[in-house]
Amino acid sequence: MKKPSLIAVIFASLVVGGCGTSVETGSIPGKAGGKSQANARSVALTAKNFEYSLSRIKIKVGEEIALKLKSDDNAHDFAVDGLGKIATVSGDSTVTRRLRVDKLGRYTFFCTLPGHRDGGMEGILVVKR
């Protein structure tokens, strides 16, 4: 994905009002956040410079995932539209949180911090059989 300039990101956030993107919760059954389960499959995602290292994440329906979110620069987070915020990471650190989706589909994930989603921090979570 192309890296936006800081100016473009600031402009984009001004256009949308400068607020973070809010996350809808409750329309997808599953688990978002909290301590990951011992048997969970690990999925690693790195956030840096308005990009996630993965633009698509594939998981199985009902599968327990330990989402390892790492930041190589500033604070970032990871939220799934319809499920909620799963993980928040401060600068230059890593957190591991629980993720489970109990319904097949394709869902948008993104960073809720102001300007980050507009800067390119979003992707698709594919939940398959």
Task: Using CB under 5 A, list all residues that contact Cu ion.
Answer: 76, 111, 113, 116, 121
- Rounded to a whole number of angstroms, the minimum distance from the CB of residue 111 to Cu ion is 3
Nearer to Cu ion, 40 or 75 (CB): 75
Q: What's the rounded Cα separation, in Å, for the pair 119 and 14?
A: 12
- Rounded to a whole number of angstroms, the minimum distance from the CB of residue 39 to Cu ion is 29
98-124: buried (b, 16+ CB within 10 Å) or exposed (e) per residue? bbbbeeeeebebbbbbbbbbbbbbbbe
- Rounded to a whole number of angstroms, the minimum distance from the CB of residue 118 to Cu ion is 11
Nearer to Cu ion, 100 or 117 (CB): 117
CB atoms under 10 Å from CB of 22, counted, come to 9
Nearer to Cu ion, 41 or 48 (CB): 48
- Rounded to a whole number of angstroms, the minimum distance from the CB of residue 119 to Cu ion is 8
Let me know: does 74 contact 114? Beta carbons within 8 Å: no
Nearer to Cu ion, 87 or 113 (CB): 113
Would you call 37 helix, strand, or coil by DSSP?
A: coil
